[in-house]
Amino acid sequence: MVKEIVQHGHCHSCGRAVKYGEITCSDACKTVWDKKKRSQRMVFWMMIAALILLIGLPLLRGIMGGA
Ligand SMILES: [Zn+2]
């Protein structure tokens, strides 16, 4: 009685089972997921910027002050 071993994934937005390779189950979920992904990317870049500031500023100050 095992007929659901077909490869499948889960909707990244609501968790419903979707076809393998699909990210979301519907257009509504796709919109939600796109928004989430965009904000995640924003957080990522903000962290990069913070890292650059954290590492770059003291370095820059060292260069400016040193020479
Ligand atoms: Zn969904």
Task: Tell me the mean pLDDT in the region 38-59.
Answer: 95
Q: Is 52 within the bounds of a domain?
A: yes
* Helix, strand, coil content of the chain in percent (nearest 5): 60, 10, 30
55, pLDDT greater than 60: yes
Domains in the chain, number: 1
6 CA distance to ligand 1 centroid (A)? 19
**pLDDT score at 64:** 86
> Which has more pLDDT, 4 or 12?
12
Is residue 24 within 8 Å of 35, Cβ to Cβ?
Answer: no
Rg (CA), the chain: 22
> Domain for residue 56, yes or no?
yes
Contact of 25 with 36, CB cutoff 8 Å: no
Q: 17 lies in which domain range?
A: 8-66
Q: Does residue 1 sit within a domain?
A: no
Global model pTM greater than 0.75: no
Is 66's pLDDT higher than 70?
no
For ligand 1, the distance from its centroid to the CA atom of residue 60, given in whole angstroms, is 47
- Report CA(21)–ligand 1 centroid distance (Å): 14
Q: What percent of the chain has pLDDT over 90?
A: 69
Q: Tell me the mean pLDDT in the region 15-43.
A: 95
